[in-house]
């Protein structure tokens, strides 16, 4: 009989996130990594607003905020002329900024959290073979040059990067291609006149340069070179590129971690092969434009972890796992499309096309609404799973500000004189049912909401949200009742009439119903949990 364990292959940010989530969900697992030591280079740096929300729910956010740099906007320049300036502000999230932190530090924070939960990474261990059986996955793990160990797991999750062994061993197709130009990346302290708290992009006929803030007044510098670049990258080469393409008086100090790299845009055809799942770079590779790669992978883990734990712990049927590919594949496909278009636009060399690009950017930069759209899209707070088979709506007048399948925005509520955030009510191990009274509830509404809240599925935490103080004071279920704070959550969510909103363990809205019906809610839960 197979173990009741999951094997996580790869201990980068995605694998570590998966491990933390499974640990919080009391699910047994083993996490391995073929590297004998944690990564020391900086690699991915930008942590998007939605990932910061996830880190808050995982209990690691404070350390990230302490160590990282808040990036408040980005600029695009062409020959010292500013084409576009966009600010990260006005987003419907507590975190209207990108947090820049070297990936090595991100992994360190996540690893410490994993260890605090009683788990560690088994290093120097490589997946060398796997065979999918009806009720388990038989694997061979390789340690060192000689030692191999057969083992058995219920499921395997490939978080093992661009050269994923899990992807290769399952013969999963990975269509796509690489970009024709080469790139180098390094970290350094820059002496220049540009904003240190914003990202700065410099398209140029010799190649794009992108500069991102890092902690301790350092910067991540990414430089495009022609495809025929034959010599090994050097710090002198990098500084010369900055002086030729941006300003002759730029210098940098204490440079480190210079490396060449090639950019790809690829995506697997399937995120799930029976009992094997792929996440992060094992499933999708794309341009670093917009800082989407690591963040998209972390969201993969956040989508899959609760589903996997629910299925293994017999809280939901195995068919729930099919929704992982169904929901996450379209998200990465759209990310690939956007980052590919931006990369191609920012790296054009033809003078006529460069002129058209600069004119377009300048026009976009003159309209506040337009220049807000790109950073909002990259924030990953607008991801929506509305087409998912486990999402359901039944509303005569759907809330204007709430999207089915989208993440539930945070809000402040009040209970017994104390202010409480909605995010603090969410749980990785439960669904959350918000029962809105509406602005003018009837006695029948009170009765209905109380009946639903008092007899709901054991995996659901119900909360009644009252719009008015007098209604809250008369509540017969004070333990599960909250009062709206001005500006009200009813207004924030665009709710006028009595409405039920079901929030999944990953914070996404799985059901909207107006008016609430106990039978409809039960049937919706049955679809997911039985």
Residue pLDDT, tens place only, 316-344: 999 999 999 999 999 999 999 989 988 88
Name the pTM for this structure. Answer: 0.94
In a domain, 24, yes or no: yes
| pLDDT per residue as tens digits for the range 361-411 | 787 766 666 667 888 888 999 999 988 989 887 777 788 889 999 999 999
406 DSSP 8-state letter: B
Final residue of a structural domain among 347, 375, 407: 347
Return the CATH number at 478.
Answer: 3.40.30.20
Q: Tell me what pLDDT residue 361 has.
A: 79
Residue, of 79 and 53, whose pLDDT is higher: 53
Residue 431: enclosing H or E segment and its boundaries? Answer: strand 431-436
Residue 527 has pLDDT above 80, yes or no: yes
Confidence of residue 117 (pLDDT cuts 50, 70, 90): very high
Residue, of 80 and 501, whose pLDDT is higher: 501
Percent of the chain with pLDDT over 90: 70
Return the CATH number at 34.
Answer: 3.50.50.60
Backbone angles phi, psi at 26, to 5 degrees: 60, 35
**How many C-alpha atoms does 242 have within 13 Å on its Cβ side?**
26
* In a shared domain, residues 15 and 156: yes
Quote the number of domains for the chain.
3
Residue 1 has pLDDT above 50, yes or no: no
In a domain, 379, yes or no: no
| pLDDT per residue as tens digits for the range 285-294 | 988 888 899 9
Percent of the chain with pLDDT over 70: 97
SS3 content of the chain, % helix, strand, coil (to 5): 35, 30, 35
| C-beta separation of 3 from 148 below 8 A | no
* In a shared domain, residues 309 and 338: yes
* In a shared domain, residues 157 and 189: no
* In a shared domain, residues 475 and 494: yes
Q: Give the tokens for residue 200.
A: 């700065």
Q: Tell me what pLDDT residue 229 has.
A: 64
In a domain, 475, yes or no: yes
The CA distance from 70 to 151, in Å, is 44
* In a shared domain, residues 189 and 284: no
Final residue of a structural domain among 218, 244, 262: 262
Q: E strands within 28-97?
A: 29-33, 46-47, 69-71, 73-78, 81-87
| pLDDT per residue as tens digits for the range 51-63 | 999 999 999 999 9
Which residues are CB-neighbours of 463 under 8 A, at least 6 positions away? 425, 432, 433, 434, 435, 453, 480, 481, 482
* In a shared domain, residues 151 and 190: no
422 DSSP 8-state letter: G
Domain carrying residue 120: 6-45+102-176+265-347
Which residues are CB-neighbours of 229 under 8 A, at least 6 positions away? 182, 260
* In a shared domain, residues 234 and 298: no
Contacts for 204-211: CB closer than 8 Å, 24+ residues apart = 204/78, 204/79, 204/245, 205/349, 205/351, 205/354, 206/241, 206/244, 206/245, 207/181, 207/241, 207/245, 207/347, 208/346, 208/347, 209/241, 209/242, 209/245, 209/246
Residue, of 363 and 25, whose pLDDT is higher: 25
Return the CATH number at 210.
Answer: 3.30.70.2450
The CA distance from 108 to 124, in Å, is 17
Residue, of 301 and 145, whose pLDDT is higher: 301
The CA distance from 322 to 29, in Å, is 20
The CA distance from 253 to 187, in Å, is 9
Report CA Rg, the chain.
Answer: 25
**How many C-alpha atoms does 15 have within 13 Å on its Cβ side?**
32
The mean pLDDT of the chain is 91
Q: How many helices (H) and strands (E) does the chain have?
A: 14, 30
Q: Tell me what pLDDT residue 486 has.
A: 84
């Amino acid at each position: 009989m197979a173990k009741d364990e999951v094997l996580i292959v790869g201990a980068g940010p995605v694998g570590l996130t998966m491990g933390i989530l499974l640990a919080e969900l009391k699910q047994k697992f083993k996490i391995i990594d073929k590297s004998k030591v944690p990564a020391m280079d900086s690699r991915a740096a930008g942590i998007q607003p939605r990932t910061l929300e996830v880190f808050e729910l995982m209990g690691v956010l404070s350390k990230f905020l302490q160590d990282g740099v808040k990036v408040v906007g980005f600029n695009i320049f062409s020959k010292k002329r500013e084409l576009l300036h966009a600010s990260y502000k006005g987003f419907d999230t507590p975190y209207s900024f990108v947090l820049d932190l070297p990936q090595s530090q991100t992994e360190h924070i996540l690893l410490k959290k994993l260890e605090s939960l009683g788990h560690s990474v088994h290093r120097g261990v490589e997946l060398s073979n796997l065979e999918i059986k009806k009720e388990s996955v038989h694997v061979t793990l390789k340690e060192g040059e000689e030692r191999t160990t057969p083992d058995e797991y219920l499921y395997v999750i490939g978080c093992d990067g661009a050269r994923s062994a899990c992807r290769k061993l399952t013969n999963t197709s990975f269509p796509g291609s690489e970009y024709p130009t080469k790139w180098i990346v390094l970290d350094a302290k820059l002496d220049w006149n540009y904003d240190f708290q914003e990202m700065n992009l410099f398209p140029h006929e010799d190649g794009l340069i992108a500069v991102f803030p890092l902690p301790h007044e350092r910067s991540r510098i990414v430089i495009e070179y022609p495809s025929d670049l034959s010599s090994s990258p050097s710090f002198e080469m990098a500084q010369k590129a900055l002086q030729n393409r941006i300003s002759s008086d730029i210098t940098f100090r204490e440079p480190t971690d210079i490396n060449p790299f090639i950019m790809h845009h690829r995506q697997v055809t399937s995120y799930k092969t029976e009992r094997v799942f792929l996440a992060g770079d094992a499933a999708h590779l794309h341009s670093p434009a917009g800082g989407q790669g690591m963040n998209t992978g972390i969201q993969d883990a956040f989508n899959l972890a609760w589903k996997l734990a629910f299925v293994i712990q017999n809280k939901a049927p195995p068919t729930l796992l099919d929704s992982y590919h169904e929901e996450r594949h379209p998200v990465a496909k759209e990310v690939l499309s956007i980052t590919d278009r931006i990369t191609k636009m920012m790296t054009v060399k033809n003078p006529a096309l460069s002129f058209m690009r600069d004119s377009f950017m300048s026009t976009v930069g003159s309209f506040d609404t337009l220049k807000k759209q790109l950073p909002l899209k990259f924030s990953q707070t607008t991801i929506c799973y509305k087409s998912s088979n486990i999402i359901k709506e039944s509303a005569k007048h759907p809330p204007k500000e709430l999207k089915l399948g989208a993440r539930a925005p945070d809000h402040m509520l009040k209970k017994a004189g104390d202010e409480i955030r909605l995010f603090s009510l969410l749980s990785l191990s439960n669904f959350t049912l918000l029962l809105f009274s509406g602005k003018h509830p009837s006695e029948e509404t009170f009765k209905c909401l109380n009946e639903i809240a008092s007899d709901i599925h054991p995996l659901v935490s119900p909360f009644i949200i009252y719009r008015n103080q007098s209604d809250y004071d008369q509540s017969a279920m004070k333990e599960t009742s909250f009062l709206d704070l001005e500006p009200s959550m009813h207004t924030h969510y665009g709710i006028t009439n009595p409405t039920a909103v079901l929030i999944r363990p990953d914070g996404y809205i799985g059901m909207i119903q107006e008016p609430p019906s106990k039978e409809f809610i039960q049937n919706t839960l049955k679809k997911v949990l039985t």
